[in-house]
Chains A and B, each alone.
Chain A
């Protein structure tokens, strides 16, 4: 059974701290790993990672994939209260007949305290 595991499940830090969120996966037909941010409602897309060792960056957020060890990390530097959200990791699978949708982890609930 395809599995995506995120850790920690919950994290509380102070504004300005740097955080690292982890995502490991055991899936078949892996194509890509994605990170989403979910605040009040719909998840919003952050990054897609397909190749090992290539860091993706967007402002204070960055992410990298290790396909050999089957994990990814999401780093947020100089955190702000607006970074408080649930961060979801998902893998995209493809079975040949059609995309299989996204398999999500349970998420990391990040709380940034002022």
Chain B
């Protein structure tokens, strides 16, 4: 158990809908990262937040957005869902966002299925 929690574990929804995935980082971690893992694309970095502020963007679609709240939990919002958005979404947290790598601890993931 990494100490990172994600809810829900599974989510099944229809195309065109909007969903929200939630992540609580490990106690004391200020950075939250979101990743998407699909069979064809592998594990891809989406976005990073540090202490409430967006710090880096990866391959995140415009239909997706995220935020980090004052209590440091983060939400990933996915809208106008398409079949291709079906994937495993991971949240990871680390102590800070300095230039040295700080180990990222991954949550158990949310499996999203779009029908």
Contacts and interface: CB of A to CB of B under 8 A. Distances in A.
A100 B58 contact: yes
Interface in B57-115: 58, 90, 97-101, 103-109
Interface in B1-49: 2, 4, 31, 33, 35, 42-48
A92 interface: yes
A57 interface: no
Contact of B45 (A31, A100, A107): A100
Contact of B42 (A45, A97, A105): A105
Contacts, number: 71
A44 B48 contact: no
Interface residues of B, number: 29
Interface in A4-32: 31-32
Contact of B56 (A43, A50, A95): A95
A53 B106 CA distance: 28
B42 A42 contact: no
Contact of A102 (B45, B47, B55, B109): B45
Contacts of A102: 33, 35, 43, 45, 104
Interface in A66-114: 88, 90, 92, 94-95, 97-107
A90 B56 CA distance: 17
Given A41-B108, A105-B42, A97 B55 contact: yes
Interface of A: 31-32, 34, 41-45, 48, 50, 88, 90, 92, 94-95, 97-107
